Amino acid sequence: MEKIKFVGNCADIIDWNSVVAELMDKPGKLVTADRSQWKMNTNPVYGELVEMWEKANFNFDAIKWINYYPGQDFDNEIIVKLENLLKVKTIKVWLARIDPGWCTPWHWDTDDNEEEWNKLGNTRRFMIFIDPPAVGHLLAMEDQCFYNEAIGNIYEWSDYKLWHAGTNVGLTPKFIMHWMTYD
């Protein structure tokens, strides 16, 4: 199986421009390199990642992104439409925003509830490009890099633990939807 597989486009069933426009002024959940905000004690992976970045002398002043969640930041109806489209059930979903000059360092997405996820069934992870192509909006995944993706493009990951990183060397905020599901 390919590591990242294109599965289709959802721009015809969801008006992503409106979704993103509504998020623009919302605070969402800010994530930075501030160690006190990371659950180092309950999940050792966070500590391992931060240690790896420190060892590489990563520029922590460039680490920042914002997560938005359904129900509180955007309409749950979007998720219902996507579940119907791909015939999956949602475990976790968030819209990630990176502003110009910021990044998410090389990492994989860990979660405190991974064991519980695996009991639900066959887990499947997707990402959806939810804003139009813009200069400098980049997502690197393993040996691939996504740039200039059409709005609504959906990709499935072969494993939710794939290594990835994102940055915005452009001039406008960058948004991607990340979606953990099972079927």
Q: Does 120 bind other proteins (CB under 8 A)?
A: no
CB of 133 to other proteins, least distance (A): 8
Q: Are 104 and 167 in contact (CB under 8 A)?
A: yes
| Residue 13 or 171 having the CB closest to other proteins | 171
Q: Does 142 bind other proteins (CB under 8 A)?
A: yes
Only segment of 23-31, 80-88, 132-140, 153-161 that touches other proteins (CB under 8 A): 132-140
Q: Are 177 and 90 in contact (CB under 8 A)?
A: no
Backbone CA torsion sign across 44, 45, 48, 53: negative
Q: What H or E segment, with its residue span, contains residue 162?
A: none
Exposure of 58 by Cβ count < 10 A (0-12 exposed, 13-18 middle, 19+ buried)? middle
| Residue 59 or 118 having the CB closest to other proteins | 59
| Residue 153 or 167 having the CB closest to other proteins | 167
Q: Does 97 bind other proteins (CB under 8 A)?
A: no
> What six digits make up the tokens of 32?
């930075």
Backbone CA torsion sign across 30, 126, 113, 79: positive
Count of positions on this chain that bind other proteins (CB under 8 A): 39
- Strand pairing report for 137-141 and 29-32: unpaired
- For residue 138, list its beta bridge partners: 167
| Residue 53 or 182 having the CB closest to other proteins | 53
Considering only 1, 57, 119, 122, the residue that binds other proteins (CB under 8 A) is 57
| Residue 94 or 102 having the CB closest to other proteins | 102
Residues that bind other proteins (CB under 8 A): 52-53, 55-64, 99-106, 133, 135-136, 138, 140, 142-145, 147-148, 163, 165-167, 169-172
